[in-house]
């Protein structure tokens, strides 16, 4: 079986403020997502959200249902978003094949039964980052290229947070039940993401950091705005962010990250901001 998983339980903010470094990483860090010839998931009880990764290096990988889903097939009651952060790949969903170049996305709707992941060149395998959320109805599968993305230019070099936000699987581009995903690229000379920091009680979020140069790292900030914590992140690692937690970061160089979220509101601008001088 090439599909493996871990479970993560939800956490109350009053408990999280007492966690040491080891416990914070155990509960919120997903550090084993990308493995050759495997599909690996973290099944989180935070909104039943799942983050995963797949590297089909020497063989095609078939998406299999896992025990927590209690489903005949993975997407029986779920939707899925996939973004390729590696070499060119192919995903076949119920007989239709989609080619994904670097930074391109694919949305798969509820009811898609058979899904396989492949790489075009085994020497440069695709690295698929995967998010999945429960779905109440079915929407069409859709490939989203960078040309399809809604692009926002945010921040400034003066504040070290000049960045390009590529909205990929988001309301107005892809019809979804609750899943949203996009890709943010920090410009050279900028290290801060998502500043001012914010929370949104109406949805949770997950961050996946990539393009982190060898020998460099990103410090991800989380916790309540008045009770912040941090986790050091390396390349191709992800952090689960409950609705009560901020999600922001600063790197020792520029980098990129994928944000994914689910909840009861598809309005991207629905955020409760905390200004930098308000954080503790």
User: Could you tell me which residues are annotated as the binding site?
Assistant: 198, 200, 205, 247
Question: Which run of H or E residues covers position 26?
Answer: helix 21-28
Residue 139 pairs with which residues in a beta bridge?
none
Q: How many other β-carbons are positioned within 10 Å of the β-carbon of residue 241? A: 25
Three-state secondary structure call for residue 13: helix
Three-state secondary structure call for residue 19: coil
How far apart are alpha carbons 228 and 280 in whole angstroms?
A: 6
Tokens linked to 268: 């991207």
Q: How many other β-carbons are positioned within 10 Å of the β-carbon of residue 171? A: 14
Please name which of 202, 231, 222, 233 lies closest in space to residue 279, comparing C-alpha atoms.
222
Are 141 and 96 within 8 A, CB to CB?
yes
Question: Which residue positions form the known binding site for Zn(2+)?
Answer: 198, 200, 205, 247
Phi, psi of 163 (to 5 degrees): -150, 155
How far apart are alpha carbons 219 and 31 in whole angstroms?
A: 14
How far apart are alpha carbons 95 and 97 in whole angstroms?
A: 6
Please name which of 1, 116, 110 lies closest in space to residue 61, comparing C-alpha atoms.
116
């Amino acid at each position: 079986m090439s599909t493996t998983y871990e479970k993560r339980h939800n956490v109350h903010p009053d408990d999280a403020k007492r966690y040491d470094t080891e416990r914070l990483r155990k509960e919120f860090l997903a550090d084993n997502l990308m493995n050759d010839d495997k599909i690996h998931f973290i099944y989180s009880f935070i909104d039943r959200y799942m983050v995963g990764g797949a590297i089909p290096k020497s063989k095609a990988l078939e998406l299999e249902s896992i025990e927590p889903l209690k489903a005949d097939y993975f997407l029986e009651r779920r939707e899925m978003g996939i973004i390729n952060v590696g070499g060119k790949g192919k995903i076949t969903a119920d007989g239709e094949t989609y080619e994904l170049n670097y930074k391109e996305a694919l949305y798969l709707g509820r009811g898609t039964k058979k899904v396989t992941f492949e790489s075009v060149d085994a020497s440069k395998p695709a690295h698929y980052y995967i998010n999945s959320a429960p779905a109440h109805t079915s929407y069409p599968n859709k490939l989203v290229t960078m040309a399809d993305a809604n692009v926002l230019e945010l921040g400034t070099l003066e504040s070290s947070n000049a960045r390009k936000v590529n909205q990929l699987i988001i309301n107005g581009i892809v019809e979804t039940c609750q899943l949203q995903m996009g890709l943010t690229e920090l410009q050279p000379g900028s290290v801060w993401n998502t500043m001012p920091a914010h929370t949104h009680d109406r949805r949770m979020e997950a961050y996946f950091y990539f393009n982190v140069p060898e020998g460099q790292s990103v410090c991800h900030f989380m916790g309540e705005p008045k009770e912040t914590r941090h986790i050091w992140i390396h390349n191709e690692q992800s952090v689960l962010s409950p609705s009560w937690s901020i999600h922001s970061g600063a790197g020792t160089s520029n980098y990129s990250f994928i944000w994914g979220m689910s909840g009861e509101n598809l309005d991207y601008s629905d955020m409760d901001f905390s200004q930098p001088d308000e954080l503790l």
